[in-house]
Amino acid sequence: MNPNYKPLFDTVKLKSGHELKNRIVLAPMTNFSSHPDGTVSDEEINYYIRRTKGVGLAITACTYVTKNGKGFHGEFGGDTDEMIPSLRRLASALREQGATAVLQIFHGGRECPPELVPNGETVSASAVGKEGSDITPRALEESEVDEIVKAFGETTRRAIEAGFDGVEIHGANGYLIQQFFSPQTNRREDKWGGSLEKRMSFPLAIVKEVKRVVAEHAKEPFIVGYRFSPEEEHTPGITMVETLALVDALADQELDYLHVSLQDFWSKPRRGADETKTRMEHLLEKIGNRVPLIGVGSIHTADEALKAIRTGVPLLALGRELIMEPDWVEKVEKGRESEIATTLSKKDQERLVIPDPLWGAIIHTPGWFPVVE
């Protein structure tokens, strides 16, 4: 290995007691490839096996915690005990590659396609539809909110029983947890909405419930992480200042890590914070040394990864790059970083072990991946 890259391979000790073998994380990415009944498919297992070897931490695509939380076609489920054998297959596949395996848990809220949820009824914090959509979700009753909080705990119990090393609470990318945090989608006047503090109640209640379940059921150290998006484009919407308040509260929850969702690691705030600093700088300053932060966003080469790590971020997630280059970690370890692929061609599906639904999305979504002839 080129000694310059040794910092990428430092071990990282988490609060739970887990020690990650390096600082590289497989980012959670939807692959649309599970069976219609919510069980994990062989194609999905093989996809994960191909790109998990070498990383310190592997985070799965999201799994829904209730029937009305299914957000994607081809998403795997964690909403009933019948799903535990399916989850166990996935956990075993990840751990057999030497990675620490984390299950991402979520509810899609108003983002769920109506055809995937019971009676075609989508739900959210409030009855606020997406711009350009003629679908208006139903506002959850208070009792239903409590049930969803408990469902995050129950799916955590299933993750423990399935052999995962941890869970990541998915509070990012416009899904239900973010819908409760955002003033755009949360117009409630009860304990779950209104002020910034009340809009933080739902994510913090889920964190508390997940941690309670871990304390009760986990016999070995078990990771709890939380993913968040820093800002929303629209007004009203989540601002960087509001996110820093949420991150401040989350950093005091004794979590194992926080995980920002970004397209570009070096991006700067839209509004509401010093725009001369990057979002990552703001986050690292607010968090201090209370909890490790996972950075992410268009990191491809070893030099780009090293530059990102030098900002002080403890962990770095690779998403699209590990789809294009499953051997990224191995190539850096063996001094072959010049061979790292940062594009893919239309002939690469079989070599890269990418399931048909994900491959179709890659090829037919212009600008998502750098596809060359």
Instruction: Give the residue numbers annotated as catalytic, written as ranges.
Output: 175
Shortest CA distance to 169 belongs to which of 204, 219, 218?
204
Shortest CA distance to 48 belongs to which of 98, 14, 107?
98
Max CA pair span of the chain: 58
What is the full DSSP assignment across 278-294? -HHHHHHHHHTTSS-EE
Distance CA 147, CA 66 (A): 9
Pseudo-torsion of CA 317, 321, 323, 328, nearest 10°?
Answer: -90
3-state secondary structure 339-364: HCCCCEECCCHHHHCCCHHHHHHHHH
What contacts 233, CB < 8 A, 6 or more positions away?
270
**Any idea how long the chain is?**
373
Q: The tokens of 135 are what? A: 């679908």
What phi and psi, each to the nearest 5 degrees, are found at residue 343? -140, 170
What is the full DSSP assignment across 300-338? -SHHHHHHHHTTT-SEEEESHHHHH-TTHHHHHHTT-GG
The helix (run of H) or strand (run of E) holding residue 144 is: helix 142-162
What DSSP state is assigned to residue 41? P
Please report where in the chains the tokens 């999905």 appear, as a residue. 44
CB atoms under 10 Å from CB of 298, counted, come to 16
